[in-house]
Structure 1
Amino acid sequence: MTSPRQPLNRSEALHQQVARNIRNEIEAGILKDGQALPSTRELAGQWDVSVFTISEAMKVLMEEGLVISQSRSRRTVRAPTQPIQRAEFRSSQPHVIMVGGFAGSGKTELGRILARQTGWPILDKDTLTRPVVEAALELLGLSPNDRESDTYVNTVRPGEYEALIAATHENLECGNSAIVTAPFIREFGDAAWISRTIAQFSASHASTTLVWMYCDEPTMRSYIRKRGAARDAAKLADWSGYISSVGLDFRPVAPFHLVDNSASSAPLQEQAQDLLKSVLATEADG
């Protein structure tokens, strides 16, 4: 268990950042075994880096056995264990793993890896609510990509989290564990919200684990630029202002597990396994 507000600061080589993000996508099942990767030049464009950086990233992944080179212009994913990684993981009581973090920190990738390892459903806020949120914003006369205005923050955003928690509770009532992914920035900073939510889940005999995803600023930025989501445009337009406003030293105000998604840290798959072992140990102690 990690104590709150434990700052981490790293700046990683670009090729290591790219390699880590591609590794995460393979481990999360986003990139499939045998799938052809884009060309070096195309990847360089996606990540906004040089072709040399991509070549170095590919060397790292090939040394790890995650990518194989079939020719100078064709590389494919090598993940033969992907189809058998998903094994049902039953605990004696339902468990909720709530994964929070800033945009581009890797929380969805961690959620997918946990879901593949456990067989538990993954409830991602954007997946569950984005179409309705975008329609609501347009009806309110705002851009569907708005995530900064007072109208979004005070009127639309609370409904997103209400829907997410309701979907989690519905799974718990059926005896299912759940992996829940969302930024949770305001929520994890509110001790009263955390207490209420844990108590609500406890009413369904479920235990709760909070997870905070840390990722250093350069790695976050490279991932956000690569994914090219319209909702991130305002962040990228004033990146220094955005980073200053969020504060990378933020940590939840309740006991939590820290997962470090910086390029030099352990692979997310290993950290996910350690997290699950901790969940089991906590359950056994309880």
Structure 2
Amino acid sequence: MHREEIGLTLEDAGEKLREIAERHGFNIAANFQTIWGHEKGSVYPGPHYRRAYCRLYRRNEAQLGFRKALPGEDASVESVLAPASVKRKLPDQLDIVRRALSSIREGTDDVDSEALCTRVIDAWSRRTTGSSTDGPVVVLVGGFAGSGKSEFAKFLGGLTNWPILDKDSLTRPLVDQLLVALGGVAHDRSSELYREEVRPFEYRCLMEAAWDNLDCGISTILDAPFISEFSQPDWMQRFQNRCRSKRVSVATIWVECDPESMREYIEFRGAARDTWKMEAWDEYISGLDLNMRPQGPHFVVDNRLGAAVALVDEARDVLSGGGL
């Protein structure tokens, strides 16, 4: 219905979806046979296809019928009738950035989500001038595997131009070789050997790299699960104290997600380090505290059913000038 109302053939839709995929880094082929299968309902689209359809038709997943709506989420589907020759006006960039950042809410009473969003927007606004009067900020983005934390961290990095330190990108090759050298298996992230002998050094490398940036006055975003760290009041307090001594602001963000969406994301990315999770999913998910929140001041991003990432996609599209 949406495709025909804006005057697109299957081939046209495929071309537009491929343009969106290139702009956002989605992994889709978008040929007309696949699109037709999605429209008939014989094939259910994967995560990247769904995100691309949302950008193409300017609707969220609930409005397109891919999932139920979250509480308070708009799931109405009004007509999108418009001549194919008429280019739809993109939303205001500042408004769409604010909308995407609205996914961040206070997880505790002693943090201010509006202040954090203002800081991010100010950094985005100053990117071309390079002027800044604030000290550096360190943003810790944590969450369970497949929660969408990396997508959200990348969005914040793209807005602010703050460098992102991703734990896996920074340490994975060394961690895999260390596991093998210790008699373990590369890509293992579930054994006692990994947890006791390797993981502490993995996070130490991440944090040392962050301090190098912060000591130079460079705001930095850290992307890692942080499950053990966020659970320890002592660790969180020491980190806060060290940042305070260096006049560094701290924003701790927990990205929450539902188990079904996490499983889909993990299965879709097909990373070797997730093999055990997929083979023993029930055991893995039963070991997670899905009600976990970081100790101390923190923010929460609600990415259940991929809602927050969908807003991020929308904002990226508008900022890039993307349209049909």
Instruction: State the TM-score, normalizing by the size of structure 2.
Output: 0.62
User: Structure 1: how far apart are the matches of 2:147 and 2:275?
Assistant: 17
Aligned to 2:96: none
Residue 226 of structure 1 aligns to a residue whose secondary structure is: helix
Matched, 1:177 2:219: yes
Q: For 1:269, which of 285, 304, 312 is the aligned residue?
A: 312
Deviation of 1:65 after TM superposition, in Å, equals 8.1
CA deviations over 1:153-202 (Å, ceiling 9, x no partner): 01100001111111111111101100001000000000000011121222
1:52 aligns with 43
What residue is the counterpart of 2:258 in the other structure?
Answer: 216
Whether contact under 8 Å (1:101, 1:213) holds in the other structure is yes
Question: Post-superposition shift, 1:30?
Answer: 8.5
Between the aligned partners of 2:215 and 2:31, the Cα distance in structure 1 is 48
1:157 paired with 2:199, answer: yes
Q: Which residue of 66, 72, 94 corresponds with 2:136?
A: 94
2:9 matched residue in structure 1: none
Name 1:282's counterpart in structure 2: none
Which residue, out of 285, 290, 314, partners 1:243?
285
- 1:163 is matched by which residue type in structure 2? C
Task: Give the match's secondary structure for 1:151.
Answer: helix
Which of 219, 223, 247 is residue 205 of structure 1 equivalent to?
A: 247
Question: Residue in 1 aligned with 2:166?
Answer: 124
Distance, in Å, in 1 between the alignment partners of 2:53 and 2:208 is 45
- Residue 197 of structure 2 aligns to a residue in which SS? helix
Task: State the number of aligned residues.
Answer: 225
Pick the aligned partner of 1:133 from 169, 175, 179: 175
Residues 146 and 152, structure 1, Cα contact 8 Å, conserved in 2: yes
Unaligned segments of structure 1, at least 5 residues: 1-25, 45-49, 67-78, 274-286
Encode CA deviations 1:15-46: one digit per residue, 9 max, x unaligned.
Answer: xxxxxxxxxxx9xx9852698831469989xx
Counterpart in 2 of 1:47?
none
Aligned residue identity for 1:269: V
Counterpart of 1:64 in structure 2 is 58
The letter for the 1-side match of 2:254 is W
Q: Residue 113 of structure 1 contacts residue 269 of structure 1 at CA under 8 Å; is this kept in 2?
A: yes
1:264 shift after superposition: 6.4
Is the alpha carbon distance of 1:162 and 1:180 closer, same or farther for their aligned partners in structure 2, counting shifts above 3 Å? Answer: same
Q: Evaluate the alpha carbon distance shift between residue 191 and residue 61 of structure 1 in structure 2; reply closer, same or farther with a 3 A threshold.
A: same
Q: Aligned pair 1:167/2:158, yes or no?
A: no
* Paired amino acid for 1:53: Y
Determine the C-alpha separation between the residues in 2 that align with 1:135 and 1:95. 33
The amino acid of 1:220's aligned partner reads: M
What is residue 150 of structure 2 aligned with on the other side?
Answer: 108
CA-to-aligned-CA distance 1:248-279 (integer Å, 9 cap, x gap): 11111212100011236344439999xxxxxx
Q: What secondary structure, in the 3-state scheme, does the structure 2 residue paired with 1:265 have?
A: helix
Give yes or no for contact 1:124–1:181 (8 Å, CA) kept in 2. yes
Distance 1:34 1:125, change over 3 A: closer
Q: Identify the residue that residue 5 of structure 1 maps to in structure 2.
A: none
Does the Cα contact within 8 Å between 1:87 and 1:117 map onto a contact in 2?
no
The 1:94/1:225 distance shift into structure 2, 3 A limit, reads same
CA shift for structure 1 position 52: 3.1
From 137, 141, 145, the equivalent of 2:187 is: 145
Structure 1 residue 62 displacement after superposition: 2.0
Query: Equivalent residue of 2:237, what SS?
Result: helix
Amino-acid identity (%): 37
Conservation of the 8 A alpha-carbon contact between 2:155 and 2:312: yes
Compute the displacement of 1:204 (Å): 1.8
Provide, for residues 206-227 of structure 1, a one-character-per-residue CA deviation record: whole Å limited to 9, x for no partner.
Answer: 0111100001111111110000
Q: Which residue of 2 aligns with 1:6?
A: none
